[in-house]
Amino acid sequence: MPYAVITGTGHYVPEKVVKNDDLKAFYDTSDEWIYERSGIRERRFAPEGVGPADLAIPAVKQALERAGVDKTALDMVVFATLSPECWFPGSACFLQEKMDLPTIPALDIRMQCSGFVYGLSIAEQYIKNGMYRRVLVVGAEMQSTSLDLSPEGRTVGVLFGDGAGAVVVEASQTGPGIVSTHLHTQGKYARELWIPEPSSLKRPKVSPDLKGLYPYMNGKEVFKHAVVRMKESALEALESAGWAPEEVDWYFPHQANYRIAAAMADQIGLSMDKFYMTIHKYGNTTAASIPISLSEAERDGSLKKGQKIILTAFGSGFTWASAAIVW
């Protein structure tokens, strides 16, 4: 059985920096409130007309270049996003068109903040069972057009940002690369963090009186579950790999909130020094947050070959997922 190894990473964030104070144009808020509660200082917003596939292109190009893989050699694309260009088809189809990729399977998955780790798991399985040799996994989000910029939207609107990350996963005779992945869902909490409309339960699906177009979040409930589930799934990955928490070089938590990562670190008995954080710069970029962190960590020299890392994510669904990887 071949190993599944991440051979290239890439990321892209839009140029426009939106600082906490800039959000005062829409909301009754402050830099102190946002930073204290979330760890966010700023995020990026892309201009209207840009979709997740557009944001993904520079990230994918970097990942392919770093892997030394030509786009014509890809066997599959897995694209995780909760903010696709349209109702259907998925963002992966647009990426395939825009990058002139071969007519390979281009699969969208909708696992929200856990989407990248789910995508990695799909890539891992296709590679380990021998069906494909090179799979591109993308997490990309255009969140800013979904945010409620009216005064009522402030609790959710200050947390999210746009961005994209990508990795190339390849079959290899030398590993271990991706040691294991672990996936979970609990749909009973689906309505605690969701965008309920437009909904196919209604006719017409889109009507002038839509009230659920913007993200709804029960922040306290989400916070509580996020700490428990991200910790649990990190421990699940550690146990499966046979690693003690302290022998891991880096933890890459989904960048939802600094306090969630800090509570999780505390409960595992680790310091935040082992947690790679980008939330202060980009906010919560949902499916893009982990691949952006991986790519940045590789570029700034923090993440090195042979290091042991744990990815752990939690998000709408509720969904949660983790991975143990030797880089």
| Residue type at position 22 | D
Instruction: Establish if 289 lies at the interface with ligand COA (CB under 6 A).
Output: no
Q: Does 196 bind ligand COA (CB under 6 A)?
A: no
Question: Residue 219, interface with ligand COA (CB under 6 A)?
Answer: yes
Candidates 137, 140, 132; CA nearest to 118 is: 137
- If we measure between CA atoms, which residue out of 170, 171, 302, 176 comes closest to residue 243? 176
By beta-carbon proximity to ligand COA, the closer residue of 18 and 326 is 18
* Smallest separation, CB 235 to ligand COA (Å): 19
Beta carbon nearer to ligand COA, 5 or 159? 159
User: Is residue 257 close enough to count as binding ligand COA by CB under 6 A?
Assistant: yes
Closest-CA residue to 77 (of 50, 56, 49, 51): 56
Any contact of residue 146 with ligand COA (CB under 6 A)? no
Binding residue for ligand COA (CB under 6 A) from 7, 29, 145, 240?
Answer: 29
CA distance 327 to 324: 10
CB of 112 closer than 8 Å to CB of 82: yes
226 binds ligand COA (CB under 6 A): yes
Q: Of the two residues 67 and 222, which places its CB atom closer to ligand COA in the complex?
A: 222
- The closest of 162, 111, 128 to 2, measured between CA atoms, is 128
Per CB under 6 A, contacts with ligand COA among 112-131 are 113
User: Shortest gap between Cβ of 275 and ligand COA (angstroms)?
Assistant: 15
Alpha carbon distance 175, 252 (integer Å): 20
Active site residue 254: yes
Smallest distance from ligand COA to CB 96, Å = 28
- Determine which residue in the list 5, 9, 14, 27 makes contact with ligand COA, applying CB under 6 A: 27
CB 313 within 8 A of CB 180: no
CB-nearest residue to ligand COA? 219
Contact 264, 24 (CB under 8 A): no
Cα torsion 124, 128, 130, 134: sign: positive
Give me the sign of the Cα torsion angle 281, 302, 115, 91. positive
Out of 17, 37, 107, 267, the residue judged to bind ligand COA by CB under 6 A: 37
Query: Applying CB under 6 A, does 155 fall inside the site for ligand COA?
Result: yes
- The reply on whether position 315 binds ligand COA by CB under 6 A is yes
Alpha helical stretches, state H, the chain: 31-38, 52-67, 91-98, 115-128, 154-157, 219-241, 258-268, 279-282, 289-299
Position among 154, 182, 231, 281 found at the interface with ligand COA (CB under 6 A):
154
Closest contact distance (angstroms) between CB of 4 and ligand COA is: 26
Count residues near ligand COA (CB under 6 A): 22
End-to-end CA gap in the chain: 19
Amino acid in the structure at residue 10:
G
For the annotated catalytic residues, the residue numbers are 113, 254, 284
Binding residues for ligand COA, rule: CB under 6 A, are 27, 29, 33-34, 37-38, 113, 154-155, 158, 217, 219-220, 222-223, 226, 256-257, 260, 284, 314-315
